[in-house]
Amino acid sequence: MIRIQTKDFDAGAEIKNLVSGKGNIGGVCSFIGLVRDFSASEQSGEKITAMTLEHYPAMTEKQLEKIETQAQERWGSIETLIIHRVGRLEPTAQIVLVAVAAAHRDVAFEAARFIMDILKTEAPFWKKEEGPTTSKWVEAKASDIAKAGLWEKK
Amino acid sequence: MIRIQTKDFDAGAEIKNLVSGKGNIGGVCSFIGLVRDFSASEQSGEKITAMTLEHYPAMTEKQLEKIETQAQERWGSIETLIIHRVGRLEPTAQIVLVAVAAAHRDVAFEAARFIMDILKTEAPFWKKEEGPTTSKWVEAKASDIAKAGLWEKK
Amino acid sequence: MKILYFAWLKEKTSLAEEDLSLPCGVSTVAGLMEYLKNRGGGFADAFADSTLVRVAVNMEHVQTSHPLNNADEVAFFPPVTGG
Amino acid sequence: MKILYFAWLKEKTSLAEEDLSLPCGVSTVAGLMEYLKNRGGGFADAFADSTLVRVAVNMEHVQTSHPLNNADEVAFFPPVTGG
């Protein structure tokens, strides 16, 4: 299940909804990404006051659905949820929720990490950070590209 | 932070509380364990109607604190939360919540998985499953012992 | 052909979206990028270093060698930074 | 010495907890297990196969070779199954 929205989400309620009525679920691994109060660019580490998330709506949906399908093909019977916010967010705000429910915990942990890693390099979102004086587009991290690449070899 | 309780928990509220006011947190990985409606013993796979969790209170606290300390020593600056329920629980009920907040997602994922793996073999909880006709104590899984062992070698 | 620009490509070109007939002699993404760069001004700036630009055709990530036709939706953007 | 029994050890011994002076000649967990087994009845049953029993002394997991003294809190239980 995929949702792109400007409003915040309640991770606990979303997870309960994901597993509701499914007695074969042994565990749910989830990841929540949050806005930090310092810049993602490792050179600067400057304070940021807000972040704006832009996206390419139709492609975002297509890419996230593809990621869910890949995870389901890879790990079989899992329930997946991806919620991603767009718009202007302040430090400590929730940006993204990825949750995977499965019969066993290993699958839940691995599939959730897979979805996050691939989302980071395939889903068309862009972050612009606002500092006290300037604002600038966040640059993609080489380490994120490397992490996504690791899943190809397995 | 550690809590042992009979009542249910709200994972979303617990996670928000864990990161509240901390602008250096980039992500939270959490795992929720749930009561399945079939037996954990792989031979039988029988339906279960409820599960009762017993524990050794003082030792549980001591062991969970030790696990949190080990995770903090291993991954440095992380915030951790472990909530474990005891008593009688029905299928689809939440049993355990482990959440790790960190600056970066890899640390959050790894430390949460570490805590779950070690909790499974070190924390003194015991599950008794009730089926339609009989009830029996869940046997420990060799695979859980193997997973915990893997962390020693790293 | 529909062309979309995102993030700093949208800012530099001052354009979110435009309709364009496949220009004469252009048959790949690389050719289109060269054509757009030659418009000068903000476009020259946006496409000055093509290694910084990522491309999707019909909402799939592609290489610049990807062929184009008039029914395609082409999007230009920087490497993605969601999550 | 305080002794605690959990899960099926509590059921088989019909005892959650007892106070016991370290029996004469017993200096390790293994010795105590042998002593308890020799009580017969539910205790003989509970300790029939010592490989199924786990032990904590003062709330730390220990091997059966662990030494004991009268101030210890000793707990017997099956392998843990929480989480």
CB-based contact (8 Å) between D49 and chain B?
no
Are C79 and A140 a contacting pair at CB < 8 A?
yes
The angle at the Cα of A73, spanning A2 to A79, to the nearest 5 degrees, equals: 40
- Contact call for residues A99 and A29 (beta carbons, < 8 A): yes
Q: What is the mean pLDDT of chain A?
A: 94
| Cβ neighbours of A95 in C, within 8 Å | 82-83
Residue C16 within a domain: yes
Which residue from B34, B49, B46, B38 is spatially nearest to B130, judged by alpha carbons? B49
CB-based contact (8 Å) between D77 and chain B?
yes
Structure tokens at A78: 């899992």
Give me the pLDDT at residue A46, please.
Answer: 83
Are A24 and B37 a contacting pair at CB < 8 A?
yes
Give me the pLDDT at residue B45, please.
Answer: 72
Instruction: List the domain range (segments joined by +) for residue D59.
Output: 2-77
pLDDT exceeds cutoff 60 at A154: no
Whole-number Å distance between alpha carbons of C24 and A108: 51
pLDDT exceeds cutoff 80 at B154: no
pTM of the entire structure? 0.95
Residue C56 within a domain: yes
Are C82 and A137 a contacting pair at CB < 8 A?
no
What would the pLDDT profile of A29-76 be if each residue is shown by its tens digit? 999 999 999 887 656 678 999 999 999 999 999 999 999 999 999 999
Coil vs helix vs strand at C74: strand
Instruction: List the domain range (segments joined by +) for residue B55.
Output: 2-153
Whole-number Å distance between alpha carbons of D55 and D38: 18
The CA-to-CA distance between both ends of chain B, in Å, stands at 25
Of A27, A29, A116, Cβ closest to residue B105: A116
Q: Do chains C and D touch (3 or more CB pairs under 8 A)?
A: no
- Provide the domain count of chain C: 1
Q: What is the mean pLDDT of chain B?
A: 94
Give me the pLDDT at residue B38, please.
Answer: 85
Of C6, C8, C79, Cβ closest to residue A56: C6
The domain that holds D48 is classified in CATH as 3.10.20.30
pLDDT exceeds cutoff 80 at C12: yes
**Chain A nearest-CA residue for C59:** A59
pLDDT exceeds cutoff 90 at C68: yes
Residue B133's pLDDT band (cuts 50, 70, 90): confident
The CA-to-CA distance between both ends of chain C, in Å, stands at 30
| Min Cα separation D83/chain B (Å) | 6
The domain that holds A146 is classified in CATH as 3.90.1170.40
**Chain D nearest-CA residue for B53:** D82
Name which residue leads in pLDDT, C59 or A134: C59
Give me the pLDDT at residue A39, please.
Answer: 82
- Provide the domain count of chain A: 1
Residue C82 within a domain: no
Give me the pLDDT at residue A153, please.
Answer: 65
pLDDT exceeds cutoff 90 at C55: yes
Are D6 and B124 a contacting pair at CB < 8 A?
yes
Which residue from A31, A48, A51 is spatially nearest to A119, judged by alpha carbons? A31
| Cβ neighbours of B107 in A, within 8 Å | none
Beta partners for A32? A97, B28
Are A127 and C6 a contacting pair at CB < 8 A?
no
| Min Cα separation B54/chain D (Å) | 7
Which residue from B115, B79, B118, B117 is spatially nearest to B98, judged by alpha carbons? B115
Residue C83 within a domain: no
pLDDT exceeds cutoff 60 at B109: yes
| Min Cα separation A25/chain C (Å) | 26
Q: What is the mean pLDDT of residues C53-68?
A: 98
Whole-number Å distance between alpha carbons of A142 and B6: 45
Residue C47 within a domain: yes
Are D77 and B58 a contacting pair at CB < 8 A?
no
Lowest mean pLDDT among B121-125, B139-143, C45-49: B139-143
What would the pLDDT profile of B34-93 be if each residue is shown by its tens digit? 999 988 765 667 899 999 999 999 999 999 999 999 999 999 999 999 999 999 999 999
DSSP code string of chain A: -EEEESS---HHHHHHHHHTT-TT--EEEEEEEE--SB-SSTTT--B-SEEEEEE-HHHHHHHHHHHHHHHHHHHSS-EEEEEEE-EEE-TT-EEEEEEEEESSHHHHHHHHHHHHHHHHHHS-EEEEEE-SS-EEEPPPPHHHHHHHHHHHH-
Name which residue leads in pLDDT, A131 or A83: A83
CB-based contact (8 Å) between D8 and chain B?
yes
CB-based contact (8 Å) between B31 and chain A?
yes
Give me the pLDDT at residue D65, please.
Answer: 98
Whole-number Å distance between alpha carbons of C58 and A83: 23
Are B126 and D6 a contacting pair at CB < 8 A?
yes
Q: What is the mean pLDDT of chain D?
A: 97
Coil vs helix vs strand at D3: strand
